[in-house]
Amino acid sequence: MQVSNITKSFGPDEARVTVLNGVSLTIRKGEFVSLIGPSGCGKSTLLKVVAGLSDADGGSVSINGKSVAEAARRKAIGLVPQSPALLPWRTILDNVSLPIKINPAANAGRTLRDPKEILTSFGLGKAMDRYPAQLSGGMQQRAAIARAFVFDPDILLMDEPFSALDEMNRDQQRMGLLDFWQSNQKSVLFVTHSVPEAIMLSDRIVLMAAHPGRIAEIIDVDLPRPRNEALYATDAFRDLEGYVRNALRKVMEAAHV
């Protein structure tokens, strides 16, 4: 996926605010990229532009060499919103099967996954026939992630999928996503506020600065895979965490001057 020179601003002419200014980014096939930065720097806006939910004022996005509109038509984009956004009147299984049922013309020539199998691998095998309201927040969010993986999109976009969860649950869901992703490497653009989460999951971390939103630094995460909890305790992890936190602090201080 390629994002080149995206600009976007909001507001009427006199009070126009530039939210994204010349953002360029390439995500390779099967690469996990995290987007981190101060609140309001335009992470969600960038994700919306990439998802085709909002139009940029300038620049272009291409997914596998095709425009976002074309990618959407082919169901190439999997979205995991901040809240699970499951349909309360459908069972978990029916919720996860929904992307297969919708826009069926785009199903041709792709390897759809078996919803039951994917739910089982997300640890929701016993919850398939239940309704979202009967599940915990963490389980709901896992179902939302399963829903994005089930139709085998080219790229997954996740906007702080774990932000509504408490710390313990959050870590559990994060490791679940890590496990699943390590055995199904897909291109992912993952927005987060958590430095350890970004390091644990990503191949690269994109650090954004605010006013206007732009990329300040791209940090490679050269930690071996497959990863697991043990990584938190390593020096390499701690060093990198210190580095990212420091870079983040600099970006935030610069914004206040």
Partner 1 sequence: MSDAMTANPVQTRKTASPVARLVGSWLPPAVTFVIVAVLWQVVALNNPYVLPTLESVGNSMASDPHMYWANMLVTCQEIVIGAGAGILFGFLLAVAMSELPIIEKAVMPLIVVIMVTPVVAIAPALVVAFGFGMLPKYIVTGLVVFFPMLVNSLAGLRDVDQKALDVFKTLHASRWETFRDLRLPGCMPFVFAGLRIAMPLAVVGAAVAEFVAAGQQAGLGSLVTISAAQANLPVTWASIALLCLLGVVLVSLLALLRKRVLWWSDADVIGR
Ligand X SMILES: Nc1ncnc2c1ncn2[C@@H]1O[C@H](COP(=O)(O)OP(=O)(O)OP(=O)(O)O)[C@@H](O)[C@H]1O
CB of 115 to Mg ion, least distance (A): 29
| Residue 43 interacts with ligand X (CB under 6 A): yes or no | yes
Starting from the edge strand earliest in sequence, which strands make up the sheet with 2-10, in order? 17-26, 2-10, 58-63, 66-67
| Residue 87 interacts with partner 1 (CB under 8 A): yes or no | yes
Q: Which residue number, 38 or 115, has a Cβ lying nearer to Mg ion?
A: 38
Residue 25: closest CA among 48, 53, 46, 56: 46
Q: Which residue number, 41 or 219, has a Cβ lying nearer to ligand X?
A: 41
Distance CA 139, CA 162 (A): 11
Taking CA 183 as the corner, what is the angle to CA 98 and CA 165, rounded to the nearest 5 degrees?
60
Residue with tokens 């971390």: 205
CB of 10 to ligand X, least distance (A): 3
Residue 39 contact, options partner 1, Mg ion, ligand X, none, Cβ 5-8 Å cut-off depending on partner type: ligand X
Residue window 176-195: x/- pattern of binding to ligand X, with contact defined by CB under 6 A: --------------------
Q: Which residue number, 123 or 212, has a Cβ lying nearer to Mg ion?
A: 212
| Residue 40 interacts with ligand X (CB under 6 A): yes or no | yes
Binding residue for ligand X, selected from 1, 3, 6, 19, defined by CB under 6 A: 19
CA dihedral 133, 149, 158, 246 (to 10 degrees): 120
Do the beta carbons of residue 245 and residue 193 sit within 8 Å? no
CB of 41 to ligand X, least distance (A): 4
Binding residue for partner 1, selected from 17, 60, 89, 245, defined by CB under 8 A: 89
Binding residue for partner 1, selected from 5, 24, 103, 136, defined by CB under 8 A: 103
CB of 101 to ligand X, least distance (A): 30
Binding residue for ligand X, selected from 25, 42, 119, 237, defined by CB under 6 A: 42
Distance CA 107, CA 111 (A): 8
- Residue 121, classified by CB atoms within 10 Å of its CB into exposed (0-12), middle (13-18) or buried (19+), is middle
Binding residue for Mg ion, selected from 21, 44, 95, 97, defined by CB under 5 A: 44
| Residues lying near Mg ion in the complex (CB under 5 A) | 44
| Residues lying near partner 1 in the complex (CB under 8 A) | 51-53, 72-75, 77-79, 81-83, 85-89, 98-99, 101-103, 106, 131, 133-134, 147, 151, 157
| Residues lying near ligand X in the complex (CB under 6 A) | 10, 19, 39-45
